[in-house]
A and B are shown apart, each in its own frame.
Chain A
Amino acid sequence: MSPQEKMELIKTFQEKLSDTAKKVFENAAFAMIDMPEEEQECAEASCETRICVMIEFEGHFRGRLAMSASGALAPVLAANMLGVDEDDPDAGKKGTDAIMEILNMVCGNLLPEVAGADVEFRMTAPEVISPDQYRIFESEADDPYSFSEDISVESSPVSFVLTIKSDRDRELM
């Protein structure tokens, strides 16, 4: 894949990520999503407990999608997905699992939106990563083949970092 093709790919991902995430949050967890009104809202997120997860994919191209969400949002999403109250023990126990499954759905629905339904991808299972690891991914978002996007879910900040990996990465693996 040429550098120009990769740049166009990243642009398409940027256009599609918010819409896909919105559909998944609304349909899977009945959660409202909008763009953060103030930059400060997401800056404050770094001070609270975060749940960070990532998934890798490989097919016509390969890359990684990571997501970071507030620890307080996790039981809300779990409760909505399970149809129980937020103080239900199941909601508390399955918060991280809810975040992982949301990322799985976002990535699984995003790839055919970007590459078309005829392209096959293999996705890894979602895995929890440390906030430090997530910050490393965020710092790589200045790379031309990576970008980050912040959204607000139920007035709680959620961020994504998407990276298209280079052919050199493939050679090193």
Chain B
Amino acid sequence: MAFNFLTADDSTIIRTMLKKTLAAAGIPVGIVHEAGNGREALDILRNNWIDLVFVDINMPVMDGVEMIETMKKEDILDNLPTVVVSTEGSRAKIERLINKGVTAFIRKPFTPELIRNIVIDILGEWEDESTGKNGTDKDFSGEAF
């Protein structure tokens, strides 16, 4: 079983970091789609099976908040796990995102361990085909929100 991801961030280096982190963390990764803004991300979401979305707040064309608000209005995207990855430090803005149904918030800079921890929390356990061990048997630490 492999999971498909979408990374929505105008920074190509952050998208690549997330992609490499997912691949290196032992998470069974299928396709990692990439979008440079919220509008591109919504197009991908409407046309592909995605298990988890990473989204930045500050993006050109359509920002992450508007993208999340649009997702919540569409039945097919309403319950999709969404992780905000941002430099945002305002407590009020983060609380508003949580109230909109965001699954987790990760503040940049992030560690690969934190990404892996949160993905495990959200997507649950999986069988590691190479070792036969369960994905959550591995050592990791981190926190959401």
Cβ-neighbour of B11 out of A100, A112, A118 (below 8 A): A100
Whether A151 is near chain B, meaning CB under 8 Å from some CB there, is: no
By the criterion of a CB under 8 Å from any partner CB, how many residues of chain A are at the interface?
30
By the criterion of a CB under 8 Å from any partner CB, how many residues of chain B are at the interface?
25
Structural contact, B89 and A101, CB atoms closer than 8 A: no
Which residues of A lie under 8 Å from residue B89 when comparing CB positions? Answer: 108-109, 111-113, 117
Chain A binding surface, main DSSP class: helix
Which residues of B lie under 8 Å from residue A78 when comparing CB positions? Answer: 13
Which residues of A lie under 8 Å from residue B108 when comparing CB positions? Answer: 28, 101, 104-105, 108-109
Which residues of A lie under 8 Å from residue B112 when comparing CB positions? Answer: 83
Which single residue of chain B is at the shortest CB-CB distance from A102? B109
Which residues of B lie under 8 Å from residue A94 when comparing CB positions? Answer: 12-13, 16
Which single residue of chain B is at the shortest CB-CB distance from A124? B58
Can you name 7 A-B residue pairings with CB atoms under 8 Å?
Answer: A81-B17, A84-B20, A109-B87, A109-B89, A117-B89, A118-B91, A123-B87
Query: B residues near A, CB below 8 A?
Result: 10-14, 16-17, 20, 24, 58-60, 86-93, 107-109, 111-112
